[in-house]
A = this chain, B = another copy of it.
Amino acid sequence: MKQRLLIDMDGVMADIYQQAINFEFAESGRLIQLEEVNGKDEIVAFPNAKRHVREKGFFREAPVIPDAQEVVKALYDSYDIFIVSAAMEFPNSLEEKYYWLEEHFPFISWRNIILCGSKVPVQGDILIDDHYKNLDPFKNRSLLFTQPHNINDDRGHERVNNWKEIAELLL
């Protein structure tokens, strides 16, 4: 029986930080540096993001986080993989996320995609996520994917800094 591996999208597969920087730059011409947002909650770091995430293309055009495609593909045979994204707050993101996955991760079946609000009812053996609110209530192995907002505290989760480290741990 394969282990069920749950993988978050935003901040783990999709580079939402870069996208927030891109949208802020397009709007105001201000180029936010990653260093200035370290340790800050995303809403504090990107005050206009609350609007930007509701704009067309924010999720659909997000860049892929380096090595995510290769490593998820390599993990796909060994694990029962489910993509679990807290998308429901932004209903405009639902289709965008589906088609983003279809474009960049075409080997992932629609059967293995979960778009939700709270992730609490979704159970698995391993969760890779960048948010404490998802990792803290998770009962099994929890991997904290490094993003500027979580850089100061592991809260007892296993930290992974990039997909190469995930490959080393799980392959």
**Which residues of A pack against B, CB within 8 Å?**
4, 6, 82, 84, 88-89, 91-92, 94-95, 98-99, 109-118, 121-124
Contacts and interface: CB of A to CB of B under 8 A. Distances in A.
Q: Which of A6, A84, A116 has the most CB of B within 10 A?
A: A116
Given A114-B115, A122-B122, 15 more contacts: A4-B121, A82-B121, A88-B114, A89-B110, A91-B94, A92-B95, A95-B95, A111-B118, A114-B114, A114-B117, A115-B115, A115-B116, A121-B122, A121-B123, A122-B123
Contacts of A82: 121
A109 B121 CA distance: 15
A114 B110 contact: no
A88 B111 contact: yes
A117 B102 CA distance: 14
